[in-house]
């Protein structure tokens, strides 16, 4: 009975207490800019993902850590909410290969992967985005103003949506950076 | 068309559809929990639908419960039974469900925890470590081979290196054998396939490692799931000033080994990922289980209420039906709920109400019949000239007809329920009647049935008959039937007197004429033969004889007149004219009395025997004048009057005088023959008048006047004479 009460209290505490270690190291979009090349707006960004023992422990426990960079392009409107023109996410997965003792960085949509001996190298590579096409010129209204916003996020594992929803209150892995936004240069 | 079964089947249909939906949603929920990845997109939707189902079910249940509570508070028939049934059903359903739920939660927690025990994790970890150790061994072995090959290349010229490398690569099964210079430039290389060249550059960490004369060993995963073993070793050189060279060898791990290693790694990762998802997994199972419980419990309680209501509906109907029957509505018919015992009960109720209705209808018919008979009896009683009283054993009046009122001179209808002796302010006639009746019914020696004549003051004679009334409980009272036979007695007396008169007239009148003739002959024969004195005596004697015979003749004629058979000669008679004519005759005679006449000009001619009416007037006027004889300022008034009343129009002859009036003791018998206060009267005058009035269908009454004197009032009906002549009128 006592054990059950304690279990219940722990459950409540886990639901109510703020996220633990990972919250100490914020995710930061350090820099982002867009290059227009042949009518394609290519995003370049550098994100600092937290590098700490939690991440390392999770990876060595076999977890796959999703590292995301979400970009939206919104058309500015004067008397109404801005219209979202583009909402794309670049997803990368970082995992630990215990057999080779290396960190594997890959994009789910691609077959290539990179391996790193050190975690900082892997995170640095994961935070580096170069020439990511987010929007093309024909999509844009020449007279309109567009804002581009970028946000990086980190999640642990490949939990199904429902489980992620259930973990919403207690999952300190499901975190994002602040929005990094600027006006899309024309 | 009875809509109740339609509604019932519609309700069943809705319940069936809802049950299928609930089952489907729960099934989806279970499947989504089992295969989270497969149902990932729909999981929240399924969860939401389940929660919505719970909310809808809770709302339906709340509605049902509110209705149940309201019915219970309002004491709606059947609500308590429904509540009790629901409580029992609910307890039977909810308690096992809760027990199952709690045990399921416990099993769930223990089950999920048991999936992730330490031994499994450690085993997987060890498998990965073992794979790594095996591959490390392989890598070191490969490193030693690379060192050996590098040593073998130490005394070879750069020109001979490619051929040697090719030979060695084929022999060792390497993908690449490359000799780099001290600055990382490629001096010679043997590559399995040029397009599969992994890296033509020597990595910096390799360079750093080999520059310090150490063998470089590396093992890294490939995108295709394989592993690449990279080894590098410095090529020893005999001359000190010779340029440093390095041999880099890259081997791909055999496929079967790579797969085994990957399998171990994958199992380890999967396990840890699942372990990480343990808590949300528990949440998910708990939520799914809770939703299943809630849906099942709410549905069960809802169905319990509904079933209880359906089960108690016949009881409710029976209660309402019983109340309706209690209020006298025997037409209540209940619809048969089913063919079970409740249906049998309802059928029995319907049969009962059917029989009750028949009985009620028969009772109503009987009551109507009784009422009808009562009305008929009342009509008969009202139409009877015979008085009828019904009294109970305490002599309380129960029934009295109109004739009884008339005979006893009292409105008895208002006295129903009153004991006869308690009826106050009763006339002497009734008081005497009640006294005699009580003495007869409650006195000593009373008999059950009897007949008797009651003489009641002042002059009534009733023939009374009594019989007991009996009901199922015994004697219930008495019925007393009585007739006023006063008139009958008078008529009998009149008839007797008529017979006497007729006999007298017959027996006396016949010898009178010979007597008178004999007396006159005696006087005639002896008048001149006897001395004067004796002749005088003879003359006086014969004169007296003749006079007395005349007197006797008059008397006999009067009797004869009284006894004469009623042979009326009706004609239209103007009564006013007749009165005037008769009065005029009397006025012509010398008399000290004043004779006055009052004529009612409205009086029409009536159909009557003129001669008899004249006799009536003669007798009445003569009596009146005799009555005022010797009275100072005596006067006699003869009046006619037209009277109109409920019994029809009538002519009234009223003769009043201011004489001495009737003696009180004679008043009751004033119309009897030979009843007279006059010394020389025959006592037949008023008797004849009465007889003539009755022959004309009329009536007569006589009484003293309060101011002195007397009056005689003769009433002759007009309409009856016109339309229906009386007995004596042909």
Strands B635-645 and B594-598: parallel
Name, in order, each residue with C-beta under 8 angstroms of A159's C-beta and a sequence gap of 6 or more: A167, B277, B280
CA nearest to A17, candidates A26, A9, A25: A9
Contact A163 B36 (CB under 8 A): yes
Strand, coil or helix: B453? strand
Which of A98, A164, A166 minimises the CB distance to B265?
A: A98
Name the stretches of chain B with pLDDT < 70: 1-5, 7-8, 11, 26, 29-30, 32-44, 194-200, 238-243, 424, 445-447, 472-475, 562-566, 590, 677-682, 719-730
pLDDT greater at residue A77 or residue A25: A77
- Classify residue A155 as exposed, middle or buried by CB count within 10 Å of its CB (0-12, 13-18, 19+): buried
Nearest by Cα to B262 from B225, B293, B317: B225
Angstrom distance (rounded) from CA A14 to CA A9: 8
Residue pair B544/B575 in contact (Cβ under 8 Å)? The answer is no
Q: Which spans in B222-277 are helix H?
A: 255-276
Partner-chain residue, chosen from A112, A115, A161, that has the shortest CB–CB distance to B44: A161
CB contact under 8 A, B135 and A99: yes
| pLDDT tens per residue, range B79-120 | 888 888 888 888 888 888 888 888 888 888 887 777 777 778
Nearest CB neighbour to B221, from listed A97, A158, A166? A97
Q: Which residues from chain A sit within 8 angstroms of residue B273, using beta carbons?
A: 62-64, 157-158
Rounded to an integer, the average pLDDT of A50-54 is 83
Measured distance CA(B412)–CA(B410) in Å, rounded: 6
Q: Annotate B583-622 with three-state secondary structure.
A: HHHHHHCCCCCEEEEECCCCCCCEEEEHHHHHHHHHHHHH
Nearest CB to B269; choose among A62, A106, A166: A62
> Which residues does chain B have within 8 Å of residue A98's beta carbon, measured at their own beta carbons?
128-129, 132, 265, 268
Hey, are the CB atoms on B129 and A158 less than 8 Å from each other?
no
Q: Lowest mean pLDDT of A20-24, A75-79, A143-147, B407-411, name the range.
A: A20-24
Say if B547 is an interface residue toward chain A (CB within 8 Å). no
Q: CB distance A163–B280 less than 8 Å?
A: yes
Cβ pair B715, B643 in contact under 8 A: yes
Q: Using the beta-carbon criterion (under 8 Å), do A156 and B283 form an inter-chain contact?
A: no
Q: What's the ipTM?
A: 0.72
Q: Which CATH number fits domain B384-484: 3.40.50.10490, 3.40.190.10, 3.30.450.20, 3.40.50.360?
A: 3.30.450.20
Q: Which CATH architecture has domain B137-264?
A: 2-Layer Sandwich (3.30)
The predicted-structure confidence for A81-139, as pLDDT tens digits, reads as follows 899 999 999 999 999 998 888 999 999 888 888 999 899 999 999 999 999 999 999 99
pLDDT at A90: 94
For residue B530, give every residue at least 6 positions away whose Cβ sits within 8 Å of its Cβ, in sequence order, or none.
B538
CB atoms closer than 10 angstroms to residue B402: 18
Please judge whether B265 and A64 are an interchain contact, meaning their C-beta atoms are less than 8 angstroms apart.
Answer: no
Whether omega for the bond prior to residue B689 falls within 30 degrees of 0, making it cis, is no
Q: For A49, how many CA atoms within 13 A lie in the half-sphere containing its CB?
A: 32
Q: Which of B39, B272, B283 sits opposite A62 (nearest CB)?
A: B272
Strand partners, B570: B609
Count CB pairs under 8 A between chains A and B: 92
CATH of B568-723, one of 3.40.50.300, 3.40.1350.10, 3.30.565.10, 3.65.10.10: 3.30.565.10
pLDDT of residue B34: 63
Q: Contact B220/A161, CB-based, under 8 Å?
A: no
Tell me how far apart the alpha carbons of residues B210 and B203 are, in angstroms, rounded to a whole number: 11
The neighbour count for residue B403, using CB atoms within 10 Å, is 20
- How far away is chain B from the Cα of A69, in angstroms, using its nearest Cα? 21
Four-CA torsion B280, B286, B291, B296, nearest 10 degrees: 160
Q: At what angle do helices B278-326 and B3-34 cross, to 10 degrees?
A: 170
Q: What is the 3-state secondary structure (H, E, C) of A86-104?
A: EEEEEEEEEEEECCCCEEE
Rounded Cα–Cα distance for residues B430 and B412 (Å): 10
Looking at the predicted structure, is the pLDDT value of residue A16 above 60?
Answer: no
Set of chain A residues whose Cβ sits within 8 Å of the Cβ of B205: 117
- Closest residue by Cα to residue B710 from B625, B615, B587, B590: B625
Longest dimension (CA), chain B: 250
Whether pTM > 0.80 for this model: the answer is: no
Asked whether the beta carbons of residue B272 and residue A98 sit closer than 8 angstroms, the reply is no
């Amino acid at each position: 009975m006592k054990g059950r009460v304690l279990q219940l209290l722990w459950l409540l505490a886990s639901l109510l207490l703020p996220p633990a270690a990972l919250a100490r190291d914020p995710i930061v979009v350090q820099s982002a800019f867009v290059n227009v090349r042949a009518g394609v707006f290519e995003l370049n960004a550098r994100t600092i993902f937290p590098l700490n023992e939690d991440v390392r422990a999770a990876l060595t426990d076999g977890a796959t850590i999703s590292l995301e960079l979400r970009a939206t392009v919104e058309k500015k409107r004067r008397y109404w909410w801005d219209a979202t023109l583009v909402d794309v996410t670049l997803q990368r997965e970082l995992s630990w290969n215990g057999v080779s003792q290396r960190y594997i960085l890959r994009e789910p949509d691609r077959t290539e992967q990179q391996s790193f001996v050190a975690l900082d190298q892997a995170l640095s590579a994961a935070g580096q985005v170069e020439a990511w096409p987010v929007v093309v010129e024909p999509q844009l209204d020449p007279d309109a103003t567009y804002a581009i916003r970028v946000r990086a996020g980190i999640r642990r594992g490949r939990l199904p949506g429902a489980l992620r929803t259930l973990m919403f209150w207690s999952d300190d892995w499901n975190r994002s950076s602040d929005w990094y936004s600027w006006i899309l240069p024309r | 068309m009875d809509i109740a079964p339609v509604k019932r089947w519609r309700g069943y249909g809705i319940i069936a559809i809802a049950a299928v939906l609930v089952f489907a949603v729960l099934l989806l929920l279970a499947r989504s929990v089992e295969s989270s990845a497969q149902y990932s997109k729909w999981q929240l939707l399924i969860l939401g639908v389940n929660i919505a189902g719970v909310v809808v079910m809770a709302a339906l249940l709340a509605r049902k419960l509110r209705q149940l509570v309201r019915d219970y508070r309002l004491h709606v028939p059947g609500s308590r039974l429904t509540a009790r049934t629901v409580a029992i059903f609910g307890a039977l359903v909810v308690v096992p469900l809760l027990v199952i739920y709690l045990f399921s939660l416990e099993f769930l927690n223990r089950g999920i925890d048991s999936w992730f025990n330490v031994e499994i994790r450690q085993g997987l970890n060890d498998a990965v470590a073992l794979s790594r150790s095996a591959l490390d061994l392989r890598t070191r072995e490969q490193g030693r081979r690379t060192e050996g090959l590098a040593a073998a290349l130490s005394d070879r010229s750069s020109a001979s290196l490619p051929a040697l490398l090719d030979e060695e690569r084929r022999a060792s099964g390497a993908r690449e054998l490359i000799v780099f210079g001290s600055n990382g430039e490629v001096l010679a290389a043997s590559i399995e396939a040029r397009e599969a060249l992994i890296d033509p550059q020597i990595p910096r960490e390799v360079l750093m490692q080999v520059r310090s004369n150490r063998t470089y060993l590396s093992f890294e995963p490939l995108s295709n799931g394989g592993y690449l073993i990279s080894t590098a070793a410095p090529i020893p050189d005999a001359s000190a000033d010779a340029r440093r060279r390095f041999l880099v060898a890259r081997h791909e791990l055999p496929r079967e080994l790579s797969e085994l290693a990957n399998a171990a790694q994958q199992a380890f990762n999967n396990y840890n990922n699942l372990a990480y998802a343990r808590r949300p997994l528990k949440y998910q199972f708990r939520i799914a289980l809770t939703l299943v419980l809630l849906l099942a419990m709410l549905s069960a309680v809802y169905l319990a209420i509904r079933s209880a209501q359906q089960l108690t509906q016949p009881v409710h109907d029976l209660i309402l039906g019983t109340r309706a029957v209690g209020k006298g509505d025997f037409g209540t018919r209940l619809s048969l709920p089913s063919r079970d015992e409740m249906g049998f009960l309802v059928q029995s109720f319907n049969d009962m109400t059917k029989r009750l209705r028949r009985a009620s209808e028969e009772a109503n018919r009987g009551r109507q019949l009784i009422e009808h008979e009562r009305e008929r009896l009342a009509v008969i009683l009202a139409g009877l000239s015979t008085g009828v009283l019904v009294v109970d054993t305490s002599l309380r009046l129960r029934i009295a007809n109109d004739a009884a009122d008339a005979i006893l001179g009292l409105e008895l209808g208002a006295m129903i329920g009153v004991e006869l002796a308690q009826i106050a302010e009763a006339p002497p006639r009734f008081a005497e009647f009640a006294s005699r009746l009580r003495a007869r019914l409650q006195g000593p020696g009373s008999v059950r049935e009897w007949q008797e004549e009651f003489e009641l003051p002042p002059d009534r004679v009733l023939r009374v008959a009594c019989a007991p009334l009996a009901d199922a409980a015994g004697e219930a009272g008495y019925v007393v039937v009585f007739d006023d036979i006063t008139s009958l007695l008078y008529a009998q007396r009149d008839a007797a007197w008529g017979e006497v008169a007729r006999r007298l007239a017959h027996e006396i009148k016949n010898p009178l004429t010979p007597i008178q003739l004999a007396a006159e002959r005696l006087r005639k024969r002896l008048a001149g033969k006897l001395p004067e004195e004796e002749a005088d005596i003879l003359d006086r004697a014969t004169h007296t004889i003749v006079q007395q015979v005349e007197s006797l003749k008059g008397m006999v004629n009067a009797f004869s007149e009284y006894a004469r058979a009623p042979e009326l000669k009706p004609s239209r008679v103007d009564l006013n004219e007749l009165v005037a004519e008769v009065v005029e005759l009397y006025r012509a005679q010398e008399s000290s009395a004043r004779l006055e006449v009052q004529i009612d000009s409205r009086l029409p001619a009536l159909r009557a025997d003129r001669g008899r009416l004249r006799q009536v007037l003669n007798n009445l006027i003569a009596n009146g004048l005799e009555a005022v004889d010797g009275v100072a300022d005596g006067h006699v008034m003869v009046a006619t009057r037209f009277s109109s009343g409920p019994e029809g129009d009538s002519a009234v002859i009223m003769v009043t005088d201011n004489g001495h009036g009737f003696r009180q003791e004679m008043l009751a018998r004033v119309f009897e023959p030979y009843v007279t206060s006059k010394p020389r009267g025959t006592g037949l005058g008023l008797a004849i008048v009465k007889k003539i009035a009755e022959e004309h269908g009329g009536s007569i009454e006589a009484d003293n006047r309060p101011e002195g004197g007397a009056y005689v009032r003769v009433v002759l009906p007009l309409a009856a004479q016109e339309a229906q002549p009386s007995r004596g009128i042909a």
